[in-house]
């Protein structure tokens, strides 16, 4: 029996085939697995009556015995001085407008939960509020301690806005209208059930998402993700609109914005699905009285734990020092956040407490 002669190119061909299969099996399925893990974080659970709820059920906000005196103290707060709010640095926006062109990754704290982020040639805002008071009746609502860190007219061109939920300190219609008028191209990304409110207010480029859903802008992907909170804007609309956190992912970088949230296992699930993150924004204020707040807001120690669960390389503290919303002393959240970060091994270098208006590269 004669031996069959193998073609000379066969070894090279086989080597190329094995290399291609190895690359494919490590890159492509990894990407697929990540997408499946993100999708598995949704959809958001609903009650029998169709209202949205949390993985842990509906958050309690304490009994009337806690809530009524709290609201009296809030009204009293209009006349009381509360020292200890953050300092403000003047930010004229010149660097940020110029930076839109080459896009050094930056984060700017405008105040409260409003961040301006630039990364990989996109510029976006989280929960933008420039109004003086987060309330339907602004003269009676909570006071703003510190002016926004940058004037709205000094902003660079905004590609998109992510909104976490409909509470007045996060969904501020006057600000959203101004942003939409300034740039009709700006996309407004909201959790389910919030688009109608924006459309009624002439903000037409609005897109709704459930938890686990995503959209893209060039090579950037924006993911709508779970949080543990609630929603309400009027007397009877409790939990009819969804709340969420958001992640923004480019081929080079990952950013996470938690919105308002209680501590929950979602952080470790999101960390497993998508982590590590180059930067996460965690809320550290509005945790007193505990009976009212603990199931829908984090205290500073929980915010540090959340950042660790998410696999944060850096964590920026938000949702404090801007509006008179809760009982804890104004200066307490950032002090406790830094102490907890140091104790936990997140480290002081990786835990950022900004002045309002401050910009840092990340
Ligand atoms: Zn809220
Ligand atoms: Zn809030």
- For the stretch 232-256, pLDDT in tens is 999 999 999 999 999 999 999 999 9
**Res. 270: pLDDT tops 60:** yes
Note the pLDDT tens digit of each residue in 185-213: 999 999 999 999 999 999 999 999 999 99
Distance 171 CA to ligand 1 centre (A): 9
**Res. 24: pLDDT tops 60:** no
pLDDT in the model for residue 22? 55
* β-strand pairing of 359-361 with 351-352: unpaired
pLDDT in the model for residue 1? 44
Nearest in space to 310 (alpha carbons), one of 251, 211, 250, 225: 225
Distance 276 CA to ligand 1 centre (A): 26
Mean local confidence (pLDDT), 209-226:
97
Distance 135 CA to ligand 1 centre (A): 12
**Res. 315: pLDDT tops 60:** yes
**Res. 293: pLDDT tops 60:** yes
Q: Residue 360: beta bridge partners?
A: 107
pLDDT in the model for residue 209? 98
**Res. 221: pLDDT tops 90:** yes
Q: What are phi and psi of 77, to 5 degrees?
A: -60, -25
Distance 5 CA to ligand 1 centre (A): 74
pLDDT in the model for residue 10? 64
Ramachandran assignment for 107, one of left (phi > 0), alpha (psi -120 to 50 degrees), beta (any other): beta
Ligand having the closest approach to the CA of 262:
1
Q: Name the one residue in this structure whose structure tokens are 């407004």.
A: 188
* β-strand pairing of 160-162 with 187-191: parallel
Please state, in angstroms and rounded to a whole number, the distance separating the CA atoms of residues 322 and 217: 31
Q: Name the one residue in this structure whose structure tokens are 């930010």.
A: 91
Ligand having the closest approach to the CA of 231:
1
Ligand having the closest approach to the CA of 61:
1
pLDDT in the model for residue 301? 98
Ligand having the closest approach to the CA of 165:
1
Kindly report which listed range (134-143, 161-170, 334-343) carries the lowest average pLDDT score. 134-143
**Res. 73: pLDDT tops 80:** no
Ligand having the closest approach to the CA of 326:
2
Distance 228 CA to ligand 1 centre (A): 10
pLDDT in the model for residue 69? 76
Q: Is the pTM of this model over 0.85?
A: yes
**3-state helix vs strand vs coil in the chain, percent to 5:** 30, 20, 50
Which of the pair, 233 or 66, is modelled with greater confidence?
233
CA 351 vs CA 21, 313, 341, 347: distances in Å? 41, 9, 7, 7
Distance 140 CA to ligand 1 centre (A): 18
pLDDT in the model for residue 79? 67
Kindly report which listed range (95-104, 142-151, 271-280) carries the lowest average pLDDT score. 95-104
pLDDT in the model for residue 2? 45
Class of CATH domain 39-361: alpha beta
Please state, in angstroms and rounded to a whole number, the distance separating the CA atoms of residues 234 and 288: 23
pLDDT in the model for residue 4? 53
Distance 118 CA to ligand 2 centre (A): 23
Q: Return the beta strands (E) in the chain as ranges.
A: 106-111, 114-119, 122-126, 160-162, 187-191, 206-209, 214-217, 220-225, 245-249, 254-257, 279-283, 315-318, 351-352, 359-361
Specify whether the CB–CB gap between 355 and 87 falls below 8 A: yes
Mean local confidence (pLDDT), 147-173:
98
């Amino acid at each position: 029996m004669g031996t069959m002669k193998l073609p000379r190119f066969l070894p090279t061909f086989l080597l190329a085939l094995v290399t291609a299969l190895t690359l494919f099996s490590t890159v492509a399925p990894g990407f697929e697995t990540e997408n499946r893990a993100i999708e598995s974080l949704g959809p958001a659970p609903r009650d029998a009556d169709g209202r949205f709820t949390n993985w842990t059920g509906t958050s309690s906000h304490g009994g009337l015995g806690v809530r009524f005196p709290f609201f009296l103290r809030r009204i009293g707060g209009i006349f009381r001085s509360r020292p200890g709010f953050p300092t403000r640095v003047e930010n004229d926006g010149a660097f940020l407008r110029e930076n839109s062109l080459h896009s050094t990754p930056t984060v700017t704290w405008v105040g409260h939960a409003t961040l301006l982020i630039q990364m990989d040639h996109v510029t976006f805002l989280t929960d933008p509020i420039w109004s003086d008071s987060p309330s339907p009746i602004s003269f009676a609502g909570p006071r703003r301690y510190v002016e926004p860190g940058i004037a709205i007219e000094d902003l660079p061109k905004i590609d998109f806005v992510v909104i976490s939920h409909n509470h007045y300190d996060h969904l501020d219609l006057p600000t959203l209208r101004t942003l939409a008028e300034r740039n009709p191209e700006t996309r407004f990304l909201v959790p389910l059930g919030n688009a109608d409110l924006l459309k009624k207010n002439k903000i037409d480029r609005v897109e709704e998402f459930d938890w686990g859903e995503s959209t893209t802008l060039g090579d950037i992907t924006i993911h709508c993700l779970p949080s543990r909170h609630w929603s309400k804007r009027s007397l009877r609309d409790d939990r009819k609109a969804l709340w969420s956190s958001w992640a923004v992912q480019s081929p080079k970088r990952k950013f996470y914005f938690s919105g308002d949230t209680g501590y929950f296992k979602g952080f470790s699930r999101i960390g497993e699905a998508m982590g590590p993150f180059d930067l996460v924004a965690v809320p550290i204020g509005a945790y007193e009285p505990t009976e009212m707040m603990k199931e829908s807001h984090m205290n500073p120690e929980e915010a540090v734990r959340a950042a660790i669960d998410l696999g944060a390389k850096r964590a920026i503290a938000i949702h404090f020092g801007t509006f008179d919303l809760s009982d804890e002393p104004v200066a307490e959240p950032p002090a406790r956040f830094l102490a907890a970060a140091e104790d936990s091994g997140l480290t002081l270098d990786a835990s950022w407490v900004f002045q309002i208006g401050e910009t840092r590269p990340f």
